[in-house]
Amino acid sequence: MAVIDFTKENMERCRCSQCPVQGTSKCVKEKLNNIKNLREDEMPTSEDFPGMYCANGYAYCEDLDPEKECQCATCGNWKMYNLGNADPSQKYCQNGEAEETEEYKETEGE
Ligand code: SF4
Ligand code: SF4
């Protein structure tokens, strides 16, 4: 089970849109432009939002550059949800959603 949910608050903290892994992606650019047209109370689907991969575990855009450096460790969600002790601990767009580990359970709420 993922340790973080796809919610508006978490989405707003996500740093994926500023990440160099996605920096040259036309697909990401298009999705980011499309979500600007949503109403304030509307949520994009996980397919339409190019981020929150720690919750969704899947990048729909195929033109990412995985060699570049992940920005998750600078994200408020990463600290708040203790994702450094989840598995995987970063680069969720490549490695899948953040799952509980024994270490995660032990350190949860610290
Ligand atoms: S930890 Fe990474 S994938 Fe998850 S919300 Fe933050 S920047 Fe996005
Ligand atoms: S999960 Fe990490 S590597 Fe992937 S887009 Fe988000 S910040 Fe960048």
54 and 77 in contact (C-beta within 8 Å)? yes
Q: Atom 5, ligand 1: which residue's CA is nearest?
A: 14
State residue 110's pLDDT score.
58
Cis amide leading into 88 (omega within 30):
yes
Looking at residue 102, what DSSP letter applies?
H
51-91 pLDDT, tens digit per residue, is: 999 999 999 999 999 999 999 999 999 999 999 999 999 99
Please answer whether residues 65 and 21 qualify as being in contact, where contact means their C-beta atoms are separated by less than 8 angstroms. Answer: yes
Q: How far is the CA of 86 from the centre of ligand 2 (A)?
A: 15
**Dihedral (C-alpha) 38, 72, 18, 39: value to the nearest 10 degrees?**
10
Q: Rounded CA gap, 106 and 102, in Å?
A: 6
Please report which ligand is nearest the Cα atom of 65.
Answer: 2
Q: How far is CA 110 from CA 15, 51, 99, 104, 105, in A?
A: 23, 26, 18, 10, 10
Report the nearest atom of ligand 2 relative to the CA of 75: 7
> Residue 83 CA: which ligand 1 atom is closest?
1
pTM score, two decimals? 0.94
Q: Which atom of ligand 1 is nearest to the CA of 70?
A: 2
